[in-house]
Amino acid sequence: MGTVSKALSLLTYFNHGRTGIGLSDLTRLSGMNKATVYRLMTELQESGFVEQTDGDRMYRLGPQVLRLAALREAAVPILSVSRRVLRDLSDETGETTHLSLLQGGQLNSLSHAYSPRHATKVMMEDAEVLTFHGTSSGLAVMAYSDPDFTDSLLSQPLEARTPATITDPGEIRAQIADVRSCGMAQSIGGYEADVHSHAVPVFGPDRQVIGALAVAAPVSRMSQEQKQLIPAALRRAGATLTHRIGGSAPADYPQDSTA
């Protein structure tokens, strides 16, 4: 990993639950030595990507990140477009919906919507880094990614977040083949215990996968009716989101299959 990649990787540890991070925590999270983290954060601070408040030794994201995010949203307004799609999908299914985007070698949760229909729901966090092998979103993305990218992911150590997480590369490849045959991924307890999620890939203007749209529900609510409703609603919503951002599905993406 080059110097630039190392510096940018430090920014991925910030999220809604961790808006400020100290040097010691960044060192622990990144696995780098403290001197390297300090040097990289100093360079990021000088460029405006992070900042420290007066008298505070904690780092937080700086104004340069906001400027780049605004430029990205102006060029490809996927965040604003996705909010309506997520809201409509959540209303139709009665469950939590979320959008994740492929950013370099990571899959990051971008936005989500909750349904008011149930007091118990799957909770999400924007900017959360999702695993590829343990989530339906990750499986949907891998199924339509460049094979070299998928090979690279599956050659790395795969974390078992729950007892149901599949970590065997051969089994994961079999899951990916199933996704390609029907256009939709499923994961039951692979990322969070007792959560059943479905996901479809989202494609950009170049017909390349850029992320995934998903519905996550407690396993206890996955009735036969929901097992039919969620895939149908999700397939329509995925096609709508891809269309609204100017994207197109590749020719081999199944259009009318049932999950």
Q: Mind listing the pLDDT tens digit for each residue in 162-204?
A: 999 999 999 999 999 999 999 999 999 999 999 999 999 999 8
Q: Which CATH class is domain 76-244?
A: alpha beta
Q: Which fold has domain 3-69?
A: Arc Repressor Mutant, subunit A (1.10.10)
Please, which pLDDT band fits residue 259 given cuts at 50, 70 and 90? very low
Cα 170 to Cα 168: distance, rounded to the nearest angstrom: 5
Q: How many CA atoms lie within 13 A of 128 on its CB side?
A: 17
Average pLDDT over residues 135-144: 97
Q: What is the pLDDT of residue 256?
A: 60
Cα 213 to Cα 184: distance, rounded to the nearest angstrom: 10
DSSP 8-state assignment for residue 18: B
CATH 1.10.10.10 residue ranges for the chain: 3-69
Cα 224 to Cα 190: distance, rounded to the nearest angstrom: 21
Q: For the chain, give me the number of helices (H) and strands (E)?
A: 9, 8
- pLDDT at residue 240 is higher than 90: yes
Containing 103, the helix (H) or strand (E) segment is: strand 96-103
CATH 3.30.450.40 residue ranges for the chain: 76-244
